């Protein structure tokens, strides 16, 4: 079961990375909101993948504690980036839905 979780997390991380690279290089433009969300999700999935892999490998509790002290502060900016992406997306949708002054 634990190996399946590691594989699924790794596949999700690679999928997000591929989508973000395609967005940045031009073939699949999604907008600024996706870049914010993609960067945040990469950071968050990287943290979760690292912790899950360490637990799967059976690291001692002392090493897991040190890993968590490093990874938890990295997950918070990732979450903040995802929220920024959501706010940018909502703002862009509201701006496009509002009629102009002459309409």
Mean pLDDT calculated for residue range 78-97: 86
Q: pTM here?
A: 0.77
CA 39 – CA 24 distance, rounded (Å): 11
**pLDDT in the model for residue 82:** 92
CA 36 – CA 27 distance, rounded (Å): 18
Dump pLDDT digits (tens) for 16-50.
999 888 888 877 777 888 889 999 999 999 998 88
Domain residue spans of the chain: 8-95
CA 36 – CA 92 distance, rounded (Å): 14
49-75 as b/e: b if 16+ CB within 10 A:
bebbbbeeeeeeeeeeeebeeebeeeb
CA neighbor of 72 nearest in space, from 42, 48, 39 = 48
């Amino acid at each position: 079961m634990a190996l399946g979780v590691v594989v699924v997390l790794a596949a999700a991380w690679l999928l997000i990375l591929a989508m973000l690279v395609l967005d940045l290089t031009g073939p699949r433009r999604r907008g600024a909101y996706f870049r914010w969300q993609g960067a945040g999700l990469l950071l968050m999935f990287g943290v979760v993948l690292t912790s899950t892999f360490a637990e799967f490998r059976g690291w001692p509790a002392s090493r897991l504690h040190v890993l968590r002290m490093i990874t938890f502060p990295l997950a918070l900016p990732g979450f903040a980036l995802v929220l920024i992406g959501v706010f940018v997306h909502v703002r862009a949708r509201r701006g496009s839905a509002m009629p102009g002054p002459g309409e």
